[in-house]
Structure 1
Amino acid sequence: MPGAIAAFGRNDLRNIRRDSLLAGIVFGPFIYAATMWLLPMLTRYLDREHGFDLVPYHPLILSAFIVVGPIAVLGAVCGMLLMDDKDQRTLAALRVTPAPPMTYPLYRAATTIAATTLSLVAAMALTGQVPAEIVVASVPITLLCGLNAAMVGFGLAALARNKVEGLAIVRAIGMLLFGLPMVPFFFDHPAMLGFGFIPTYWPAKAFWEVWDGGNPWPYLAAGAIYSGAISWWLLKRLASQKA
């Protein structure tokens, strides 16, 4: 098992180094974080020129760029690596090795969750707009984001035949997964829980709760159960899928 995992890791590094698109996407969360350096300037401009106070909307903007947005970016990386492995018949080759069939999908899920968690925590700190105590309190949220990224990656690998189709699918579902979850920010009503059918709603809502000093754990638990169930179904499908 350790030998197989080490081989998977070397293969990932080789694929990322030789694919300029993948290498660029990996830095997506940090590019999002860098754009947040403009937030104070934009806030001052709107207040001075238009009398509009943007401060109450800072958690919405930050959640869009450093919580929900990177899920699409890192999910796309996961999906494209899986598609590379399908093209190289890695999954088919693993069927004749002693490694259990679920070893590789579980490895892919674990690495995606770990990479997303580390990237998002670093991105939050790099924005300069998220207080340190909120960064710390948001670590469980970044884990949920990682689970969502794995779910997106598994979905792309299951639905797309190549990388071009995979990126097209990300763009097609972008509004559903990464736009609609922002709507409940504007409405304080129990009916907004209906947006929970969108998996990315749960980490966004948990972040808003942390920002306001509320309790994020009910949303984290619901999101983990929901996204985990979808991810497990997709993971099992990929594990049994022919290359």
Structure 2
Amino acid sequence: MSAATGFIATFGRNDLRTVRRDSMLVTVMLGPFLYAAALWFLPALTDYLAHTYSFDLVPYRSAIVSAFCVLGPPLLLGAVLALQLVDERDQNTLAALRVTPVPPSTYPAYRAGMTIALTTFSVLASLAISRQVDVRTLVLGVPVALMAGLLAPVLGFTVSSLGRNKIEALAVMRVIGLAVFTVPMIPFFILDSPWQLAFGILPPYWPVRAFWSAYDGGSYWPYLAVGLLYNAATALLLLRVAARRLR
């Protein structure tokens, strides 16, 4: 076993102990499934609005599902990543890694990799639990979930770099969380306009845009291909920045 592999195993065991001790982390990690369960009431809400206010919610279902099941998991798990990084920075854990033989990129790469894997699984599980997507959309949602998984470390590394301590990180998280839940939704209302592509500068745009197309049977692969490349490049860039700070 290489030194890097040994340290990754140690990181994993430490994370399991931390999660067992911290009930808040457990609650946050269960958040995506609670979001998905909330969508069980979407058909009833749709019927209520139609009968009471003559408002048809059906055309907006893909946007609602994407907000809860595609953006929710990376936002929550990205927040967990950010809080872990800030806590470890405050406890000088990251400084201690400088004197180990492990390359500086190993630790942030481990954090990013675990977050991507957990987020990808959470997105797929949330879509399945929501009962709002058919089998075809769920299959097409696999690469969308991976794209959303790449978004989680982008959000986590951004929050941890902007927040110098836990209080600041929480404040930054609230602002970014509000932006992630609202701004990427704007293109939904201008899908026929080429101006929607201007929102592509924001990493959250790509997973929701690809999901909308998958859900509604529209053009899917262009958004998927560009989004995977763009979010992967952004995550890699932020990973290198995080690794550089450990040197």
**Smaller-chain TM-score range?**
over 0.9
Q: Which moved more, 1:231-240 or 1:64-73?
A: 231-240
Q: Can you give the 5+ residue segments of structure 1 that lack an aligned partner in the other structure?
A: none
- Among candidates 210, 215, 233, match of residue 211 of structure 1: 215
Residues 134, 196 of structure 1: alpha-carbon distance in 2 compared, 3 angstrom cutoff: same
In structure 1, how many angstroms separate the alpha carbons of the residues matched to 2:172 and 2:91? 22
Letter in 2 for 1:235: L
Give the drift of 1:217: 2.3
In structure 2, how many angstroms separate the alpha carbons of the residues matched to 1:10 and 1:225? 32
- Among candidates 35, 38, 42, match of residue 41 of structure 2: 38
Matched pairs, number:
243
Give the drift of 1:176: 2.5
Q: Which moved more, 1:68-77 or 1:200-209?
A: 68-77
What is the aligned partner in structure 2 of residue 24 from structure 1? Answer: 27
What is the aligned partner in structure 2 of residue 158 from structure 1? Answer: 161
In structure 2, how many angstroms separate the alpha carbons of the residues matched to 1:27 and 1:17? 13
Q: Is the 8 A contact 2:98 2:246 kept in 1?
A: no
Deviations 1:70-125 (A, max 9, x none): 22111101111112222232222222222111111111111011000111111111
What is the aligned partner in structure 2 of residue 229 from structure 1? Answer: 233
Q: Is 1:124 the equivalent of 2:123?
A: no
Q: Is 1:61 the equivalent of 2:70?
A: no
Q: Is the 8 A contact 2:104 2:246 kept in 1?
A: no
Deviations 1:52-74 (A, max 9, x none): 22111110110111111222111
Letter in 2 for 1:230: T
Letter in 2 for 1:96: V
- Among candidates 48, 53, 75, match of residue 50 of structure 1: 53
In structure 1, how many angstroms separate the alpha carbons of the residues matched to 2:179 and 2:202? 7
Q: Is 1:239 the equivalent of 2:235?
A: no
Q: Is the 8 A contact 1:154 1:235 kept in 2?
A: yes
Q: Is 1:195 the equivalent of 2:199?
A: yes
SS at match of 1:173: helix
Q: Is the 8 A contact 2:144 2:224 kept in 1?
A: yes
Q: Is 1:167 the equivalent of 2:170?
A: yes
Identity of aligned residues (%): 52
Give the drift of 1:232: 2.2
Which TM-score applies when normalising by structure 1? Answer: 0.94
Matches within 5 A, 1:1-150: 1-150=4-153
In structure 2, how many angstroms separate the alpha carbons of the residues matched to 1:45 and 1:61? 16
Which TM-score applies when normalising by structure 2? Answer: 0.93
Give the drift of 1:151: 0.6
Letter in 1 for 2:23: S
SS at match of 2:245: coil
Give the drift of 1:47: 1.3
Q: Which moved more, 1:193-202 or 1:220-229?
A: 220-229
In structure 1, how many angstroms separate the alpha carbons of the residues matched to 2:12 and 2:90? 17
Q: Is the 8 A contact 1:25 1:73 kept in 2?
A: yes
Q: Is 1:183 the equivalent of 2:192?
A: no
Q: Is the 8 A contact 1:22 1:77 kept in 2?
A: yes
RMSD, aligned CA? 1.6
